[in-house]
Structure 1
Amino acid sequence: MCDPKETRGQGWRGWQALPQPAASIPDGPWLDLSHPLNAAMPRVPVFPAPVFRRLKCMPADPLNVTEFSMVVHIGTHIDAPCHFFMDGPALDAIPLPRLHGPGVVWKLDGLRPDSLIGVPQLEAARPLLRPGDILALDTGWSLLAGSDAYEDHPSLAPEAAEWLVAQGVKLLACDIPTPDMPVHRRPLGFDWPVHKRLLRDGVLICEHLRGQGALAGRRAEFMFNALNIEGSDGSPVRAVARAIRD
């Protein structure tokens, strides 16, 4: 169990104010942006593989019943602020408006393995961000899920995370295992600077997204349908989005 008396993990600064979203018109069908929950879903190698098994199975039994066990930070999932801040809210305390709303999908071309995404690349992306937007990054890396190359993903520079907070982004969704440096490149004492910079001001993080390329360069409406897990630092999500126009 976590020790609530421990001073490590303090620094949650609260939710940033959200403007009232502008009215928009749906401009396409809902798209599923999630990896299915199964034994092969993408995960950081330090986490154990999920386990799925049938407790009851037809026709031998009168019904089918499935049991599963998994870390909440594998597959398409969302991080709660308490993932890194003990004084931050857990999953069940995240206000619903933080999990849905309008935003943009940015395609970032030409990224190389282990490369850094900096502020200039984000400033050049279109359409322009609006305060309170959800931002989904399309790096193309989700196509490599399940391969060793998936672990050589690009990541955000810490100053890029700072820039996103300044723009008023409320949720960052990315098609890579983590917006921080890949696990195999982390030096001794690595301290997750991107996660901490985003989560301390209430910018939620969704990892292992897929399929958002169909909406690249568009404004979109998103829903990140997380499980209401009491006290949890994260949850698998069924992420969906559709194109919108103002």
Structure 2
Amino acid sequence: MTTFAVTGTPIDLTHPLTPGTPHVPSQPGFEAHRIREVPAALSTVTAFSLCTHTGTHIDAPFHALADGKRITDYPPDFFAAPAVGIGVAKERGEEITAADLDAAALGPGPGDVLCLATGWQAHHGSPVYHDHPHLAPSAADWIVEHRVRILVLDTLTPEPPVQRRGADFALDIHRRILGADIPIVENAANLDQLAGLRGHVLIAPMPITGADGAPCRVFGWFDGTSDADAESTDSKT
């Protein structure tokens, strides 16, 4: 069982759901309507609909692999783990490579959640958000080689933007990462606050039985400890 102690105020890594929540064009967005409301009724009730990949959500391996795990195949403690933040600022449509990840001030250890901040949250809700940076195959392989537990991104997808995909597009980045049993959180918020730091993350997916993914609430606790801080402390002991 995974256990950890956290202190301080959690950072909310989740975007609120609104009718304008960005989503991949081929998938339905978020919709909500009031069924009844006080004071005209005794209680207020809201109905909503969204797909498993709308808003801040997590992809399970079944999203890309017929024999992959469903989201409810993971035990609850899988989603609570140590985490590391890496910042890689990129422009529209640019690739994030293994060299970019190697150049970061710190890296993940086996079993860490990797929070990868591209700075793209600044465009959330605008058309530019759909022309996001994306992972190169070398970066996907780097994540697998480092035995990351879960990848957390501040973009719609780790793949190239829809409008930049060629005729041979085959969801290759998802297949590399999910094929290594590494779920992917997409559309996370506030990852820029975590870059260069270590901490802990708690991910709470909706337990949709047998699903390929789920909307989720994500929190982070990052105390400001970096690799340099750890090395400085070690040198004094």
Q: TM-score, normalised by structure 2?
A: 0.90
Alignment correspondent of 2:164: 185
- CA positional deviation for 1:49: 2.2
Which aligned pairs between 1:72-83 and structure 2 lie closer than 5 A?
72-83=52-63
- CA positional deviation for 1:128: 2.5
1:114 to 93, 117, 121: 93
- CA positional deviation for 1:34: 0.4
- Paired residue secondary structure (1:26): coil
Alignment correspondent of 2:18: 38
Alignment correspondent of 1:91: 71
1:208 to 187, 200, 206: 187
Q: Partners in 1 of 2:146 and 2:47 — Cα distance?
A: 42
Alignment correspondent of 1:132: 111
Q: Partners in 1 of 2:19 and 2:199 — Cα distance?
A: 30
Alignment correspondent of 1:240: 219
User: Would the aligned equivalents of 2:4 and 2:81 in 1 still touch at CA under 8 Å?
Assistant: no
Q: Partners in 1 of 2:15 and 2:108 — Cα distance?
A: 26
User: Would the aligned equivalents of 2:86 and 2:107 in 1 still touch at CA under 8 Å?
Assistant: no
Q: Is 2:80 aligned against 1:100?
A: yes
Q: Over residues 11-66 of structure 1, what are the superposed CA-to-partner deviations in whole Å (9 max), with x where a residue is unaligned?
A: xxxxxxxxx97x86635310111011221222112222221011111111100011
Change (3 A) 1:229 1:25: closer
Q: Partners in 2 of 1:183 and 1:98 — Cα distance?
A: 31
Aligned residues: 225
Query: Which of structure 1's runs of 4+ aligned residues deviate more than 2 A?
Result: 23-28, 95-98
- Paired residue secondary structure (1:240): strand
Q: Partners in 2 of 1:186 and 1:28 — Cα distance?
A: 42
- CA positional deviation for 1:98: 2.7
Gap runs ≥5 in structure 2: 231-237
Q: Over residues 159-212 of structure 1, what are the superposed CA-to-partner deviations in whole Å (9 max), with x where a residue is unaligned?
A: 210111011101100000000111111111310111000001101100001112
Q: Partners in 1 of 2:7 and 2:198 — Cα distance?
A: 10
User: Would the aligned equivalents of 1:55 and 1:67 in 2 still touch at CA under 8 Å?
Assistant: yes
- Paired residue secondary structure (1:136): strand
Moved more, 76-85 or 96-105: 96-105
Percent sequence identity is 36
Q: Over residues 99-120 of structure 1, what are the superposed CA-to-partner deviations in whole Å (9 max), with x where a residue is unaligned?
A: 12001011113x1110000011
Alignment correspondent of 1:158: 137
Alignment correspondent of 2:36: 56
- CA positional deviation for 1:138: 1.0
Q: Partners in 1 of 2:65 and 2:26 — Cα distance?
A: 21
Q: Partners in 2 of 1:80 and 1:124 — Cα distance?
A: 28
Gap runs ≥5 in structure 1: 1-19
Q: Partners in 2 of 1:90 and 1:221 — Cα distance?
A: 24
User: Would the aligned equivalents of 1:35 and 1:76 in 2 still touch at CA under 8 Å?
Assistant: yes
Alignment correspondent of 2:203: 224
User: Would the aligned equivalents of 1:215 and 1:242 in 2 still touch at CA under 8 Å?
Assistant: no
User: Would the aligned equivalents of 2:115 and 2:194 in 1 still touch at CA under 8 Å?
Assistant: no
Q: Over residues 136-177 of structure 1, what are the superposed CA-to-partner deviations in whole Å (9 max), with x where a residue is unaligned?
A: 011110110111111111100012101110111011000000
Alignment correspondent of 1:13: none
Q: Partners in 1 of 2:6 and 2:79 — Cα distance?
A: 18
